[in-house]
Amino acid sequence: MRLRCAVLDDFQQVATELADWSSVADRVDVVAFSEHLDSEDQLAAALAEFDIVVTLRERVPFPGTLLARLPRLKLLVASGMRNTVIDYAAAEAHGVTVCGTASSSTPPVELTWALLLGLARGIVEESNSLRSGGPWQRTVGADLHGRRLGLLGLGKIGGKVAQVGLAFGMRVGAWSQNLTAERAAEVGVELASSKEELLSGSDFVSVHLALSDRTRGLLGPAELALLKPTAYLVNTSRAAIVDQDALLAALHGGRIAGAGIDVFDVEPLPAGHPLRTAPRLLATPHLGYVSRANYETYYGQAVEDIRAYLDGKPVRRLG
C-alpha cells in the first residue's frame, strides 16, 4: 500500500522542486500544504490520513494530544536537529519515529546583517520614498565603523555575526550567562562585564540566544530602558526572549532608534497585530533559515530520512 506524506508550511511551494523525491516516488505520495494550519483541530483533520509528516523547524507543535489524534502517523521529519515543540515521549508511545535534518547557521547570520544594515541606512524608507516620487534623501545613516556591537550570545551564529562586525571595523562585545573569557577571546571580542553594561554601552544589540527558562523575557522594560536612544535592537533568535509589549512601547515612545525583528510570538503574524504597524521597525516574516541552500538540505535530507525509514534503517533520529 502506498503511503501518504504531508509537507507543512510550504509557503513558497518549492518543497518538491528543491529536492529529488524520485527515490521514494514508487512508495509515497507527497502533498504539500502552502497555507499554515493554526489550530490542533485543523492539524488533526488535515493530517488524519497521512503516514508521514515533514515540518519546518519549530513552526508547528506536535504535543501528545495531537499525536494521539493521528493514528496513521508513523514518521515525523523536522528540519534541523533540535526541536522543542515535539513531545518525544508521546511520539514513542504512539509508535512515531522522529527524524531531523542538518541546518546551516549561515542564513540567519546573513539575515541579521541585512536587518542591521537596513536599519542603519534607512534602506526601506529611502527605497519607498524614491519609488513613490518622495523626497530625495530623507534619513541620515548610522555609522557602523567605530561603533559598538553588543551580542547577547556568542555561539555558532553569534560568533559569525561577530566576525562580520569586526570586518566592518566595529568594536564587538558579548554577554551571556555562560559566556567565558576564553570563548570571547577565541572569537576576538570583548567580554562584557554584565548584561546591563552590554546594553547600555552598545550602539547595536543583536540577540543570539536559545530560548529557555533563563532567557525567556530576558529583555523586558528595565533592560530595554538601558539602551541608548540612538541604539538599534535586532532579534533573529526567538521572540519570547524580548518582551514584545515592552518593545512596542520603546518603539512608539522613540526610546530606541529602531528594531529589526524576524521572530514573533505568533507565526504567521496575525493581520491586525500591532507589530505590523509599529514605527521604527524593520520586520521580516521569519526568514532567518529561509535560503535556497538550506531548503535544499532540509527537503533533500527529509527524502533521505523517509527512504531510510521505509528501508527499516531510520537515520538522524531525534528524541
- The answer to whether 296 is a known catalytic residue is no
Q: Which helix (H) or strand (E) holds 258?
A: strand 258-261
C-alpha cell read off for 40: 490542533
Interaxial angle between packed helices 292-310 and 106-120, expressed in degrees from 0 to 180 and rounded to the nearest 10: 160
Give the closest residue to 199 by CA, choosing from 178, 229, 179.
229
Task: Count the Cβ atoms, other than its own, within 10 Å of residue 277.
Answer: 8
The string of DSSP letters for 42-107 reads HHHHHHTT-SEEEE-TTSS-B-HHHHTT-TT--EEEESSS--SSB-HHHHHHTT-EEE-----SHH
C-alpha cell at 47: 493530517
d(Cα 84, Cα 237) in Å, to the nearest integer?
14
267 as an active site residue: the answer is yes
Residue type, 246: A
Catalytic entry in 57, 147, 148, 286: 286
Strand order across the beta sheet in which 3-7 lies: 28-32, 3-7, 52-55, 75-78, 97-99
Helix (H) or strand (E) holding 41: helix 40-47
**Residue 147 gets which letter from DSSP?**
P
Which grid coordinates are listed for 306? 523517509
Catalytic pick among 17, 267, 307, 316 = 267
Residue with cell 559566556: 179
145 is catalytic: no
Q: Using the Cα atoms of residue 269, residue 273, residue 274 and residue 277 in order, give the sign of their dihedral.
A: positive
C-alpha to C-alpha distance for 267 and 236, rounded to whole angstroms: 14
Catalytic member of 58, 148, 238, 304: 238
Closest to 304 (Cα-Cα) out of 11, 28, 59: 28
Please give the positions annotated as active site: 238, 267, 286
